[in-house]
Structure 1
Amino acid sequence: MRLIDRYILLQTATPLGVSLAVVLAVLVLERVLRLFDLVAQHGKPFGPVLTMAVNLVPHYLGLALPAAFFTSIFLVTARFSEDSELDALRGCGLSIRRFARPLLGLGLLLTLFSIVLYGYVQPYSRYAYRAIFHAVTNAPWDASLVTGTFIDAGDGYTFYADRLDSADQRLEGVFVHERQDDGGEIITTARHGDLQVSDDGTRMTILLQDAVQIRRTPDRHDAVLAFDRLLLGRPFTLEGPLFRVRGDSERELTLTELRDDRTDPPPTIPRARLTAEFHARLVRSASLLVLPMLAVPMGMAAKRTFRWQGIAVAAVILLLYHHTIQFGESLAHLGRVDPLFSLWGPFAVFAAGCGVLFANTERRAGANPFDALYEGLEGFVRPVLRLVQRRRAPT
């Protein structure tokens, strides 16, 4: 590898790493906040949240990788063009194709990496996430309380306590709601209470003091009772239902399993879904290989004043391509269209368009089609911004 190749790749690595880190942090943190809320509602410890977040990383990495790769190449090419480094390279006899060669090599490496990511890492991480999610949402209540949170204890029981002394399980401000099989309800409130579980873990009891109980029958007749002391009990178990084996969904199968199961599909997954999932993963992986041929011409046309226009146009192009692939995958899942047409067809059109654009930029570097597009977008937005500034200006 020549010095210029290492220099270009080094300049690309920084924005690529920053883009991936930022996007992953935003996506994972947003999901982690929802997972914390879910775990708190079920009265479970927060330890599984970290494990679930780790298993979400491969999924979000697959979403962020194409956008981050394209953005990094776009910004590096725009900087090279703005600082006249690209002109200096061309003056030394290096063509645009030579400039893009290390970027295309990086695209090839990321394509191979994405095949492993989409094809083998994501299926296992997705199943692990669902297994932990099932354990959290379906595991029996372990008699632990989170103050200020309604706890679903299963079998129609809901608990709430304003305060909890973890040393002796002393409760204050207790609320217990029990939904009976015949449609009736029992609502109990108390100033104080003691929560206990039998030594064999088969029964839970709550001794309430200064309790008030409202009994509502299925025909909506209420009865109110007051107790100095009230003992509530219910059967209890710490054994939860087992989670299913991996492979109930085509998204949990590896590329090898998808290929093999197409000849003899399992009864729960139609052959069309297996075929569509297999081709969709390959198409998404191969798309990384052609992104440099689009990002380099767009970056060459994006001077300092045109960078936001270039990013906006790129976002539109990538979103349209992404949703086209998703639409084609949906049609292939239903068995209405062959994946070779609905998935590889849009990829072939996209790859051919990127290749033609890159070749035209190589032959006619001064006639970049994105120059006119950026200027037109700038000419449209500039009057709008001036009008907004006039309306905001004090009179």
Structure 2
Amino acid sequence: MSALGRLVPDRLDGYTLRLFAPPLAFALGTLLLAQMLERLLRLFDLAASTGADLTAIMRMAGNLLPHYLGLAIPTAFTAAIFMAVARLGDNSELDVMLGTGRSIVRIAMPYFGVAALLCGFNFYLFGYLQPMSRYDYHVAVNDALQAGWDARVEDNRFVNAGQGFRLSATKVGPDGRTLEGVFVQRRIDGDEEITTAKHGLLKPSADGRRLLLELEDGTVVRESADKTASFLRFEQGLINADFTPAPPTYRARGESVRELTLRELWDGMHGRGAERDIPVRKLAGEFHGRLARSLLLPLLPLLALPLGMASKRGKRAPGVVFACLALLALNHALQFGESMAESGRAAALIAVWLPLVVFAVFVTWLFHGSLAWPGDNPVTRAIGAIESGFEGFGGRGGKKKKTA
């Protein structure tokens, strides 16, 4: 059979992917749930302290999902390959495949195909979806923080009522809107207006769309920017401004490099696009960091497949632990490289890509080491040597104790 014919997907590839899909979905769901739970507790606490509703919490949680998805995909992908290959080994199906002349590289081809698809999705995730959702999350948090002013006033506390108004009352009724000892301050364009009244009431307008402040027995003092002052007393008054709560507009997107798309990062690195007060080194560190994480997935089958083939019943823990440690070390190395590049202590091409190149060399060596003898690789040999050392140490200790 020609080399091209061997690359054509067949029924064994479909069977391999059917074994792979459930562990991938399970691992991805579990990791997302584990990561989101702690943040959800913090969001509920934020909502409880600000008075935000459940819709705001769901909006914030939804905007966090792309961030946690980017963290979960590499780990879930590696774990799914490991579990699928280990199951093939448990049922001796792997031995049958190898016995019919199917090479380990050919067995790995479906996983490389999935990795290529996920790699394309990662470009969209890291390049566009994450920066947009991160900004939307901050907008949602700002809206939740501003939800604390619900047009109800507490005794002797100043509240920002919007449109330049600050409102306070010495005594407030049970409804939070019947006021005594009212103090209202408003500053706009250098002009200041202070209104005091014995009684006040926050009440809806005739059309029910606005909230107005009705006052009794009060005074108004106005001071303009040129220090001209005026004084007015009244028995009945109405501040015909809308006291309906409305959060201020949040800042524009792009003040942080993490809110910029890959295209915007690239344009900023080359002096194009919108002008921002962000150093080029920070733009470069973020750009190369996202690119490196997007291209990571095709390397993961080289790590998971040898460890999965080497796992046997009751002896999977070493492979799982090693895979987790390898991914954790790579993640921290990439973060360290990004910080080095953003601080200007190293070029982004070296600081960010060197850890990925080292990881690629290591997993290629690991995969190549398992081709001659499936189930045997440098990691399993090292783990076996460590176990033998501990068993030998324990055996010598036991003999000495028996002799004594």
| Whole-Å separation in 1 of the counterparts to 2:214 and 2:358 | 65
Q: Which of 243, 261, 274 is 2:268 aligned to? A: 261
Alignment of 1:287-302 (within 5 A): 287-302=296-311
Is the contact made by 2:89 and 2:309 (CA closer than 8 Å) also made in structure 1?
A: yes
Alignment of 1:116-135 (within 5 A): 116-135=124-143
State the number of aligned residues. 326
Specify the code of the residue in structure 2 equivalent to 1:116.
Y
Cα offset, 1:377, TM superposition: 5.8
Describe the shift of the 1:377–1:344 C-alpha distance in structure 2 as closer, same or farther (beyond 3 A): same
Secondary structure of 2:296's aligned partner: helix
Alignment of 1:23-38 (within 5 A): 23-38=31-46
Deviation by residue 1:32-87 (Cα, 9 ceiling, x = unmatched): 22111101101222221111111111111001000000001111111212221111
Secondary structure of 1:362's aligned partner: coil
Q: Which of 347, 361, 364 is 2:370 aligned to? A: 361
Describe the shift of the 1:311–1:366 C-alpha distance in structure 2 as closer, same or farther (beyond 3 A): closer
Specify the code of the residue in structure 2 equivalent to 1:316.
L
Identity across aligned pairs (percent)?
40
TM-score by length of 2: 0.73
Cα offset, 1:196, TM superposition: 5.0
Alignment of 1:139-154 (within 5 A): 139=147, 141-143=149-151
Cα offset, 1:140, TM superposition: 5.6
| Whole-Å separation in 2 of the counterparts to 1:92 and 1:115 | 38
Q: 1:77 is matched with which residue?
A: 85
Q: 2:3 is matched with which residue?
A: none
Q: 1:221 is matched with which residue?
A: none
Deviation by residue 1:183-239 (Cα, 9 ceiling, x = unmatched): xxxxxxxxxxx995454525499xxxxxxxxxxxxxxxxxxxxxxxxxxxxx95523
The alignment status of 1:375 with 2:393, answered yes or no, reads no
Describe the shift of the 1:331–1:85 C-alpha distance in structure 2 as closer, same or farther (beyond 3 A): same
Specify the code of the residue in structure 2 equivalent to 1:34.
R
Cα offset, 1:379, TM superposition: 6.2
Secondary structure of 2:295's aligned partner: helix
Cα offset, 1:371, TM superposition: 2.2
Describe the shift of the 1:197–1:376 C-alpha distance in structure 2 as closer, same or farther (beyond 3 A): farther
Alignment of 1:151-190 (within 5 A): 169=175
Cα offset, 1:367, TM superposition: 3.6
Specify the code of the residue in structure 2 equivalent to 1:365.
P
Q: 1:56 is matched with which residue?
A: 64
Cα offset, 1:356, TM superposition: 1.7
Which consecutive unaligned segments of at least 5 residues does structure 2 have?
1-8, 161-165, 178-182, 184-199, 216-241, 393-404
Describe the shift of the 1:195–1:136 C-alpha distance in structure 2 as closer, same or farther (beyond 3 A): farther
Specify the code of the residue in structure 2 equivalent to 1:292.
P
| Larger-gyration structure (1/2) | 2
Is the contact made by 1:197 and 1:203 (CA closer than 8 Å) also made in structure 2?
A: yes
Which consecutive unaligned segments of at least 5 residues does structure 1 have?
146-150, 172-177, 179-193, 206-234, 384-395
Q: CA RMSD in A?
A: 3.4
Specify the code of the residue in structure 1 equivalent to 2:15.
Y
Is the contact made by 1:118 and 1:281 (CA closer than 8 Å) also made in structure 2?
A: yes
Secondary structure of 1:304's aligned partner: coil
| Whole-Å separation in 1 of the counterparts to 2:356 and 2:349 | 10
Q: Which of 84, 88, 95 is 1:87 aligned to? A: 95
Q: 1:185 is matched with which residue?
A: none
| Whole-Å separation in 2 of the counterparts to 1:275 and 1:204 | 57
Is the contact made by 1:203 and 1:236 (CA closer than 8 Å) also made in structure 2?
A: yes
Describe the shift of the 1:271–1:360 C-alpha distance in structure 2 as closer, same or farther (beyond 3 A): same
Specify the code of the residue in structure 2 equivalent to 1:311.
V
Q: 2:258 is matched with which residue?
A: 251
| Whole-Å separation in 2 of the counterparts to 1:25 and 1:157 | 44
| Whole-Å separation in 1 of the counterparts to 2:150 and 2:385 | 64
Deviation by residue 1:264-304 (Cα, 9 ceiling, x = unmatched): 27342111111111110110011111000011111111112
| Whole-Å separation in 2 of the counterparts to 1:364 and 1:106 | 25
TM-score by length of 1: 0.74
Describe the shift of the 1:381–1:40 C-alpha distance in structure 2 as closer, same or farther (beyond 3 A): farther
